[in-house]
Structure 1
Amino acid sequence: MPAAPKKTNKQPLRKRVSPKERARVDALFERFSTLAENPKTELHFDSPFTLVVAVALSAQATDVQVNKATDKLFAVYNTPQAIFELGVDGLIPWINSIGLFRNKAKNVIELSRIILEKHGGQTPLNREDLQALPGVGRKTASVVLNELDIEPAIAVDTHVFRVSHRLKLSAGKTPDAVEADLMAIVPQPYLTRAHHWLILHGRYVCLARKPRCAECQVADLCPSRELFLGG
C-alpha cells in the first residue's frame, strides 16, 4: 500500500495582492478610521454575559429590536443565575418581540445553566468554550471576543458579506470564506475595528437594494460604484 500522505498545518497559498491593490485596501481602511475612530456594537450590554445574550438574540433580528427587549430585561435580570431562574416560560414574555424568540429563550436558559455549572457563573471568554454554548456559533463568538478586545475577529453577517463583495475585498461564497479573506487582507492595525466599519457601512450607506453611492465617503475606492451610479 502507498504511504498515507503526511498531515500538514500549512494553508493553501493565497493569491498575491498587487501593490496597487494593497494601497487601495490600506487607503480604504484608513478612510474608515477617520469616519469612526473607535466604533462599537450598537447592542446594549453591561457585562460579558449580557453581551453574549444580546448577540445571541440578535440573530435574524435588528439591534434596535433586541435593545428594546433587553433594556427592560437586563434592568431586572442580568446575571446567569437570574436568567436561569426565570426559566424558558419566564423569559419568553421579555423577548417575544424578537424573531425566533422561543428557540432563543431555550438557548439563553441553557447557556446560563452551562455557565453556572461548568464555569462557576463566569462567562467564558475563549472561542472554544463560547462556541460550545447553545445558540453561540462562530459569528456570535467572534463578535463577543472582538468587542471585548480579546481577539481580533471579523464576524461576517449579511452586511459584511455584501460590502466585502462590493468593495472587492473578497469573492468568497460563504461567510467563512469571506472571513478568511478579510482576516488576510485587512491591515493589522485595523483588524479589531474592521468588523464594525463594514457593518456600519452596510447598514447606513451601502444598502442592499439601493446603495447611497453619491453620499459614500469611500466611493472613489470602490470598484463597484459605477454599477450603481450608472456611469
Structure 2
Amino acid sequence: MHRAAVNEFFRRLADADPSPTTELEYASPFQLLVAVVLSAQATDKSVNLATRGLFAAAPTPEAMLTLGEEGVADYIKTIGLFRNKARNTVALSRLLLERHAGEVPHNRIALEALPGVGRKTANVVLNTVFGEPVMAVDTHIFRLANRTGLAPGKDVLAVEQALMRRVPKEYLQNAHHWLILHGRYVCTARKPKCGECRVRDLCEFRDKTA
C-alpha cells in the first residue's frame, strides 16, 4: 500500500472514531494489566464477564494476592487456560508489590518481567495507560495488516515494526485501537465485511466480498 493510501486509510478510521480505546473494562492500570493477561486466547467480552466479579473482590495487587490462586480461578473459570492465568495473576500481583510498590511500571523491560506479560500485553499497557505511541499486534491486526497490504510481515513482530514505520505520526497513538476494532468487526477472519468497509478502495485484498 502506497504512503498516500496509508495516510487516507487512517484518516478515514479516525474520522469514524476519533477517540478509540480498548473494550476491556478496568478502573486502574493494575486492572487493565490483569485484564490483558486474561485476554490471551479469549474474547474481551468473556474477560469482562469474568473480571466484573474478580475486580469487585480484588481490585488491587494486595487484594489479589490475598484472594490467592484458587480464589482467582473461581472467578475466571469461564475463560480459557484459567488455571494458568490465575497463577500468573497472583504471581504478577506479588511481584508488583515486591518490586514496584504495587504500581504498574512505566517500563517495557519491567512489564515483560511479570508473569504472563509478553510484548503485546506490555504494548497495550504502555499505550493505553501511559500514552506511548506503540503498536500492540494481536491476531486481528496481524491478519488485517497482511490482508490489506498495509504492513505485511511474516510474524507479529515484523508486522509491529512495519506498522511503526508506516503509520503516520499523527495517527500512531490510536492506530492499534482502530486496527483491532476494524479487524474484529469489519475485516473479520472467515468472511470479511468488505461491503461495509470504509477503506475498501484502498485495500489490496483480491478476494473482496460483496
TM-score normalised per structure 2: 0.97
Q: Does 1:111 align with 2:92?
A: yes
- 1:202-229 Cα offsets, whole Å, 9 max, x none, are 11001111101111111111111x4123
Aligned to 2:208: 228
- Runs of 5+ unmatched residues, structure 1: 1-19
CA root-mean-square deviation: 1.2
The 5-angstrom pairing of residues 71-150 of structure 1 reads 71-150=52-131
The whole-number CA distance in structure 2 between the counterparts of 1:40 and 1:179 is: 18
Structure exhibiting the larger radius of gyration computed from Cα positions: 1
- 1:32-72 Cα offsets, whole Å, 9 max, x none, are 10111010000000111000000000000000000001011
Aligned to 1:213: 194
- Percent of pairs identical after alignment? 56
Match 1:160 to one of 111, 121, 141: 141
**Contact residue 149 and residue 192 of structure 1 kept, 8 A:** no
**Contact residue 106 and residue 130 of structure 2 kept, 8 A:** no
**Number of positions where the alignment pairs a residue of Structure 1 with one of Structure 2:** 210
The whole-number CA distance in structure 2 between the counterparts of 1:229 and 1:105 is: 41
Residue type at the aligned position of 2:191: K
The whole-number CA distance in structure 1 between the counterparts of 2:155 and 2:78 is: 29
The 5-angstrom pairing of residues 33-72 of structure 1 reads 33-72=14-53
TM-score normalised per structure 1: 0.88
Q: Which has the bigger relative contact order, CA under 8 A and spacing at least 6? A: 2
The 5-angstrom pairing of residues 15-26 of structure 1 reads 21-26=2-7
- Runs of 5+ unmatched residues, structure 2: none
Aligned to 2:8: 27
The whole-number CA distance in structure 1 between the counterparts of 2:82 and 2:176 is: 26
The whole-number CA distance in structure 1 between the counterparts of 2:204 and 2:108 is: 34
Runs of 4+ in structure 1 off by over 2 angstroms are none
- 1:161-185 Cα offsets, whole Å, 9 max, x none, are 0110122122211100000000000
